[in-house]
Structure 1
Amino acid sequence: MTDSTPDDIPFGPWVPRPVSWLEMGVYFCGALVVAALGTWWILKNSGQVGLDAPDNRRKLHEKAIPRLGGGPIFLAVGLACLVAGYIGGLGWSRWLPVAICNALIFSVGFVDDLRPLGAKVKLVGQIGTALILYALGVSIDTLSNPFGDGSIDLGWWSLPLTLLWLVSIPNIINLIDGMDGLAGGFGLFLCLTLAFIGYYGLQPDVLVVALAMAGALAGFLIFNLPPAKIFLGDGGAYLIGFFIASVSLFTSNKGSVIGALLVIIMALGVPILDTLFAIIRRAMRGVPIFNADAEHIHHRLILLGFSKGRALVALYSVCLALSLVGLSVLLTKGVALPVAGAFLLLLALGAARYLGYVRSWSNFREQINEVMERRRKREFFRAYGRVLDFEVERCDTLESFTMQFSHGIKRMGLGVSSQAETCAETLRLADGRLFNIHHPKDDTETSEWHLRLDVLLPALERCLEKWGALPPSVEQAPTDPNPATSSQPTA
């Protein structure tokens, strides 16, 4: 983006002025009150729209919970920015590109919270919003030397790097939004870090908007801490991530990555690490990167015996420590960067071992071979699932498909009725109908069986669409008291 001088601002001249501690408190507390009241209103008036229903797999809450928490946060931040711009005199006009694009990205996620859009549609919306912000002049143009003078002009690389930054941060925040209070709390720490950067860099407008977002998140967390009464939803997660990504660009001098961007990367250490683990895990298993699972860092902590509260405190503590590490890089003008990098590497290795992603470094190769063997078995299931999908088209009657279906699941080692040494797994169709498939009892994790058995869903969906019924041999499960009104689970 352009330098923060009056001559270079495309939306009019702007001269920074100091912000008093009283003003800081007003913006933070005002946003907190607005977000808290807005969240309370949603809880009091929520109906059957925008609910996140439990699925007995990843979503283990007892009842359907509203996931429209992004609305009050957006309202609180928007009001605070209007007050800061038109009453506080903090240069609202130069923030128009950021405000417009944050509203757009929030809209993409909020619409998905109301009615699922699908991962591809959301990704197109994210990239489109990032392109608009880039076209309006907010970009990473140069990379400065963190240890001294000199910089590299990115040229045409400015576009892909800016898009990567603006698209990846919202998805990283959305990825960790799988436990009560986690994404909102991380967003709070990151916004306070941005506020300090604005204070340290003599940018009062950055300080004010970051404090407003921090206050809004604090107000939302009143209702989102365990046990959560409301969820962020994609709208809230995208808004937090895009806000952090776009405002951090405003804090850097002529798009230099040495300042706020490097601090934010450090502060995002836990969600970045979680994202990295998820990508490696899903790539090795041969499943799509955006497939949801229950093996994120917070899930692993719960399996290790942590309560939700203890797990949240542990992750908050690590986030706070990493924020301080990132700020140390800024305050020392890059001198602390090698120490910070070593700290992140040790954190990654220690987390991989402690959380059980790596059972033993000495037997790491053996573990890789086990993972690849499971991948081959999953590919076998996937292939048979496609065969059954094709059989729906080939068969003229439900009876003929039932024969093919019974033969297929037998070849897969499954059954439609209970037998000795078998376990039942419940699968859900799009209309909320449940049915049971039985698999052998072995040491395979339940989540692995979910991945294998889900390949049957497309064939059964098409069967229901073509003949209006499932194969008679399929065992119907009890009716779900909480029908599926939620969107597809986020990663």
Structure 2
Amino acid sequence: MKEIILIFLSFFLGLAGAWALIWFGERIGMMDLPNERSSHNKKICKGAGIGLLFAILVVSFFLKIAHFLWLPSLAVSVASLWGGDRYKLTVKQRLFVHFGCSLYFLLFLSETIKMGGAFYLLCIPLAVFIVGTSNFYNFMDGIDGIAGIAGLIGFLLLANYGKCINADPNYITFCVCISASCIGFLFFNFPKAKVFLGDVGSILIGFIFSCLTILLAHSAMDFLIMSGFIFPFYIDEISTMVVRIKDKEPLIIAHRRHIYQLLANEMKTPHWLVSVGYGIFQAIVGLSLMAVKPLGISAIFTTYFIYSILFIVISLFIRFRFC
């Protein structure tokens, strides 16, 4: 019964956060103004991810989620609200916060799982994974519905997989609650956005998704499978970075060169259709990875390879046509 109440509460907090920003966002300066790199053509309030943050904090209290998960998530989200949505922090300042919060999570986690020196050797690459995922998620939040749908599906996949590997039931419920808060937010963001997540929400989702992937994993295979639960975001961002590096374009400059942006802007595909398409692709990849798990690690890498080639072939066709 407690779990059901928390799920509904998370939904309403996600809904309330979006509603509040629609009504009060302009008064407190939380507006996203369109420019030449935007995929929208009118000013829209941002920062609705604050509802997801409240849902995470409330659920963490009642489910007794470890402080080393919710506390750095709070810090990352508040820093993103302050330094991304409301004012501006430099890239170095933001990365400093992200890495600091990632190391806080990893060092306290290492004490909990008592892996000792072996885990410490992984701290830096895992911190890079957390920071990369947090920022990739933020970069991919550019059209109506895409980030909310990815969060909804990604955390449901985590919950389902967590159940399969006998993870702590509280963390399984936690994942479902985050999905529920994404649904609440989507009521005002999909199919036509009245409000945006903002950095406070998108970086938060990426951060907590990557932390849960590490926390729930019992093995390297578990980690590889769960990482793929937001595969479309990874492959779109990484392939776009390769293209931009090839063209000698600074990576910190905002752009409209992701495949989802080309589909929505150059091809004039409705935002909702692109977002749903990415969500379907995300679900197919996630379910495929779980399905091939009994075949071993080689099958996991083969699955990644097949879907990566498929995405790259389609993306090359789109880029050659519109770039």
CA contact (8 A) 1:138 1:250 kept: no
Distance 2:92 2:305 in 1: 36
Please show how residues 81-230 of structure 1 align to structure 2 within 5 Å: 81-85=60-64, 92=65, 95-112=66-83, 113-138=85-110, 154=118, 157-202=121-166, 203-230=168-195
Q: Which residue of 2 aligns with 1:342?
A: 305
Q: Which residue of 1 aligns with 2:246?
A: 284
CA contact (8 A) 2:110 2:119 kept: no
Cα offset, 1:248, TM superposition: 1.4
CA contact (8 A) 1:105 1:238 kept: yes
Counterpart residue identity of residue 267, structure 1: F
Q: Decide whether aligned partners of structure 1 residues 37 and 247 sit closer, same or farther in structure 2, where only a CA change above 3 A counts.
A: same
Cα offset, 1:335, TM superposition: 6.4
Counterpart residue identity of residue 22, structure 2: L
Distance 1:250 1:155 in 2: 12
- 1:254-277 per-position Cα deviation (integer Å, ceiling 9, x unaligned): xx3221x21233222211111112
Distance 1:354 1:37 in 2: 41
2:195 is paired with a residue whose SS is coil
Cα offset, 1:292, TM superposition: 1.3
- 1:80 counterpart = 2:59: yes
- 1:43 counterpart = 2:22: yes
Q: Decide whether aligned partners of structure 1 residues 138 and 100 sit closer, same or farther in structure 2, where only a CA change above 3 A counts.
A: farther
CA contact (8 A) 2:14 2:49 kept: no
| RMSD of aligned alpha carbons | 2.5
1:290 is paired with a residue whose SS is coil
- 1:295 counterpart = 2:257: yes
Cα offset, 1:305, TM superposition: 4.0
- 1:371-399 per-position Cα deviation (integer Å, ceiling 9, x unaligned): xxxxxxxxxxxxxxxxxxxxxxxxxxxxx
- 1:327 counterpart = 2:306: no
Q: 1:70 aligns with which of 36, 46, 49?
A: 49
- 1:353 counterpart = 2:311: no
- 1:207-264 per-position Cα deviation (integer Å, ceiling 9, x unaligned): 01101111111101111113211111111111101111111122122xx3221x2123
- 1:426-457 per-position Cα deviation (integer Å, ceiling 9, x unaligned): xxxxxxxxxxxxxxxxxx97xxxxxxxxxxxx
- 1:39-69 per-position Cα deviation (integer Å, ceiling 9, x unaligned): 21222222141211111x1225343212111
Distance 1:72 1:225 in 2: 16
Larger mean CA deviation between 40-49 and 178-187 belongs to 40-49
Cα offset, 1:154, TM superposition: 4.8
Please show how residues 244-263 of structure 1 align to structure 2 within 5 Å: 244-253=209-218, 256-259=219-222, 261-263=223-225
Q: 2:230 aligns with which of 248, 253, 268?
A: 268
CA contact (8 A) 1:43 1:66 kept: yes
Q: Decide whether aligned partners of structure 1 residues 198 and 136 sit closer, same or farther in structure 2, where only a CA change above 3 A counts.
A: same
Counterpart residue identity of residue 337, structure 1: I
Counterpart residue identity of residue 30, structure 1: L
Counterpart residue identity of residue 32, structure 1: F
1:137 is paired with a residue whose SS is helix
Q: Decide whether aligned partners of structure 1 residues 38 and 276 sit closer, same or farther in structure 2, where only a CA change above 3 A counts.
A: closer
Q: Which residue of 1 aligns with 2:33?
A: 53
Counterpart residue identity of residue 280, structure 1: V
CA contact (8 A) 1:269 1:322 kept: yes
| Larger RCO, structures 1/2 (Cα 8 Å, 6+ apart) | 2
Q: Which residue of 2 aligns with 1:32?
A: 11
Larger mean CA deviation between 71-80 and 296-305 belongs to 296-305
Number of aligned residues = 318
Counterpart residue identity of residue 101, structure 2: T
- 1:10-35 per-position Cα deviation (integer Å, ceiling 9, x unaligned): xxxxxxxxxxxx55443322210122
Q: Decide whether aligned partners of structure 1 residues 155 and 252 sit closer, same or farther in structure 2, where only a CA change above 3 A counts.
A: closer
Counterpart residue identity of residue 275, structure 2: L
Distance 1:295 1:338 in 2: 27
CA contact (8 A) 1:142 1:257 kept: no
Distance 1:238 1:338 in 2: 27
Distance 1:154 1:189 in 2: 32
Distance 2:121 2:151 in 1: 28
CA contact (8 A) 2:235 2:308 kept: no
1:136 is paired with a residue whose SS is helix
CA contact (8 A) 2:239 2:312 kept: no
Larger mean CA deviation between 98-107 and 263-272 belongs to 263-272
Counterpart residue identity of residue 107, structure 1: V
2:254 is paired with a residue whose SS is coil
1:212 is paired with a residue whose SS is helix
Q: Decide whether aligned partners of structure 1 residues 78 and 332 sit closer, same or farther in structure 2, where only a CA change above 3 A counts.
A: farther
**TM superposition score normalised by structure 1:** 0.60
1:80 is paired with a residue whose SS is helix
